[in-house]
Amino acid sequence: MAATYDPDPRAPLGFRIPFKAESGEVIEERWRNWRRNDPVNLVAKYRANLKSLRGIYIDCGWRDQYHIHYGSRILSQRLAEAGIRHRYEEFDDDHSDIDYRMDVSLPLLYRALR
């Protein structure tokens, strides 16, 4: 994801991080780039496009080791506030070995694409 948030072909890995690796100190300009590209912050900008979609499905484990459930909760809230239909689910698991969740997500997405 970092490569999409602040790409820079001259950087060692082709993208910039929003903090100094040695100290963890935030680099404000870089952090603004990251926030500008955060899905939570893109809902308002792309509201019409998102409303036109036939299916938006978001799920995550509430024990996610990367803590993605916090951002996912906010994203779901922003979608709801913008009047964008979507389905959000949290399940009792983490980020790993969750292929079994495809039994939930794929049928829903299949119906949306038909």
Rounded Cα gap, residues 80 and 113, in angstroms:
21
| Per-residue pLDDT tens digits for 14-69 | 999 999 999 999 999 999 999 999 999 999 999 999 999 999 999 999 999 999 99
Closest CA to 62 of 90, 22, 101: 90
Q: What is the pLDDT of residue 4?
A: 86
| Residues found in the chain | 114
Q: What is the pLDDT of residue 54?
A: 94
Domain ranges of the chain: 55-109
Q: Which two tokens stand for residue 107?
A: 């049928």
What would the mean pLDDT of 88-100 be, rounded to a whole number?
97
Closest CA to 82 of 111, 112, 53: 53
Q: Bigger pLDDT: 12 or 65?
A: 65
Is 0.85 topped by the overall pTM?
Answer: yes
Q: What is the pLDDT of residue 1?
A: 74
SS3 state of residue 89: strand
Rounded Cα gap, residues 61 and 51, in angstroms:
25
Q: What is the pLDDT of residue 79?
A: 98
SS3 state of residue 77: helix
